A and B are shown apart, each in its own frame.
Chain A
Amino acid sequence: MSTPIQLRPDETFILNVGPQHPATHGVLRVKMEMDGEYIVKSETVLGYIHRMHEKMGENRTYAQYLPNLSRLDYLGALGYTHGHVLAIERAAGIEVPERAEYIRAITVELNRVASHLFWFGAFVMDLGGFSPLMYAIQDREHILDMLEAVTGARLTYCYYRFGGLYNDIDDDFIEAAKRFIPRMRKSLKKYAALVTGNIIFQKRLEGIAPVSAEMCRKYGATGPVARGSGINFDVRKNEPYSVYPEFDFDVPVYHECDSMARYKVRMDEMEQSLRIIEQGLEKLPGGPIMAEKKPKNIKLPVGDFYQAVETARGSFGIRIVSDGDKNAYRLKLRSPTYSNMHLFDEACEGMLIMDALAFMGSLDLVIPEMDR
C-alpha cells in the first residue's frame, strides 16, 4: 500500500520559464522558485544566444565589424550602428557632412518608432490582447518599407559608414516619411483609445511591479525603464551627440515607477520621435553624404574610446581600446537590456507570476542584444 504524498505547507517548487517560451521573446531562461502562484525567488539564466560579438570585434577590421552591430538588436538596429560609427569617427577624427548626420538622426528615429511599435504589440499580446499587435505591425510595415527602399534591408540595415552613409535618401523617402507622420499620429490616438484606456489593461499594470529610482541606479538601468521610475536621463539630452542639440524635443518622464509608467514613456517617446523626424526633414541640408577626407583603411590611434548613444532600449555604449592596429585590441559593448534585465530578479520577489510576465514585457527585452 502506498502512502499519500505529504506536502509541507511551506514547500516551494521550481518553475522554468523558457528558454523556449513565448513570453520571454527569445531564448531567455528564468528559474523561478514558486510558492503557489507567488514568486519566492527568481534567477535569470543568460547565454543561450551568445555569439561572441565582442571577440569578433577584435579579429575583424572596423569596417568588417559593421554588419555585426545590426545583429545585436534586430528591432532597433540603426541605433547600435550609429554608436559604432560615431565612436570610430571621433577616434579617427573624421568630419561627417551635416546632411549625413541629419539623415542618420531621421533614420534612427524612424527605427525607434518601429521598435516601440513592435514592443507595443508584443507587450499587449503578452497580456492577452491580439488585435493591437496586428495594427502595430501594419504601421511598422510602412517604416520598414521606407527603410528598405533606402538601405536595402528590412532589419539588418548596415547603412552607416565611417564618415557618412552607404547611399543617399531620395524624394520618395522624404515623401513617404511626410505621409507617415500624420498617419502615425492618428494611429497613436487609436492606440490610446483601444489599449491605454482599456480597463483590463489598466488594472493589470497600474501599481504593479514597482521599480524604484534607487534600484535603477543600482543595476544601471537606462532608457524607458529608468524614465518610468522618475530618472530624467536621456543620452540625447544629457550627453548630446550627432545633430540632436538642434532638435526641439522632450524627454518623457513618469514618476509612478510601475509597469504603466514604462508603457506611457514609450508611447510618448514615439510622439517625440515623430517630432524629431518632422524637424529633421524640414531642416535637411543639401551637400555630400560622405566625408571627403577619409582614410581608406581605418586605423585608430593608440587609446581608449567610448561612445554612448540612446537606442530604443536605453543607453548603449561601445568602448574600443586600440593599440594602433587596424582592428581593436578590446571591444566592449554595453547593452541596455542586459542591465535592465538584472533588476528583474530583485523586483519580482513576492509577485504573482502573471504580473511578473507583464513586468518582463514592460522591460522590452531583446535577447540577442542581451547575450551579444
Chain B
Amino acid sequence: MGGYFSDIFNGSKSLLIGMGITFREFFKPTVTVQYPYQTLKMSARFRGHIELIADEEGNPKCVACGMCQRACPSGCISLDSVSVDIEVDGKVKKKKVLSKYDLDFTKCSLCGQCVENCNFGAIDFSKEYNLASTRKEDFHFNLLKRLEERNA
C-alpha cells in the first residue's frame, strides 16, 4: 500500500519537474530559421553541384582529359573536345579545347570524386542548394553555357 501512495507522489513530482523544464524553454531564444524568408549561408566546404572554373581570360581551365568522367561512380558527367590549331611562337600547334561539358544532376550523389580527381583545378562545387523542379530536364546542366553566362 505504501508503494502505491509513494508512486502517486513521486509520479506527480516527476511530471511537475518535466513541466518546469518545458516551461523554461518558453523563454529561451528562438533557434529556428524562417526559411524561405531567412536563409543560412552555406559553409565554405559545402558540396553543391559542380561548376567549371575559368582562367584569367575567361576560358575554362578544363583540358578535357576526362578524369572526372572516369572517376564518377554514377556516370553523370559527359564531356567532349575538339582539336583546334593555335599559333605559338610562329608555329602551328594542335590543342584540345573543351566543346561540351554536361552534368546530369539527377544521377549525381555529390560525393566529390570528380573535384578530387581533377589535376588542373578546373571544377569546383557551387554553393547552390535551392534546386527544385518538377521537370527532369531542369537538372541537365550545360556547364559550359553556365560559365559563359557567368562571364557575361
Contacts and interface: CB of A to CB of B under 8 A. Distances in A.
B71 A64 contact: yes
A16 interface: no
Nearest to A60: B73
B66 interface: no
Interface stretch (B12-20, B51-59, B85-93, B98-106): B12-20
Interface in B1-17: 7, 10-12, 14-15, 17
Contact of A66 (B7, B45, B111): B111
A152 B109 contact: no
B111 A158 contact: yes
A155 to B, nearest CB: 11
A190 B21 contact: yes
B113 interface: yes
Contact of A197 (B17, B25, B46): B17
- Residue with the highest number of chain A CB atoms closer than 10 Å, among B7, B12, B21: B21
Contact of A167 (B15, B22, B45, B72): B45
A201 to B, nearest CB: 9
A180 interface: no
A148 interface: yes
Interface residues of B, number: 27
A63 interface: yes
Contacts of A135: 25
Contacts of B46: 148, 152-153
B125 interface: yes
B21 A194 contact: yes
A200 B15 CA distance: 9
- Residue with the highest number of chain B CB atoms closer than 10 Å, among A152, A167, A200: A152
Interface in B62-112: 71-73, 109-112
A156 B108 CA distance: 13
Contacts of A141: 31
Interface in A191-214: 193-195, 197-200
Nearest to B45: A152
A149 interface: yes
B14 A198 contact: yes
Interface of B: 7, 10-12, 14-15, 17-18, 21-22, 25, 31, 43-47, 71-73, 109-113, 116, 125
Given A152-B43, A199-B12, 19 more contacts: A60-B73, A66-B113, A67-B73, A67-B113, A71-B109, A131-B25, A135-B25, A145-B43, A158-B111, A158-B112, A166-B112, A166-B116, A167-B45, A190-B21, A194-B22, A197-B14, A198-B14, A198-B15, A199-B7
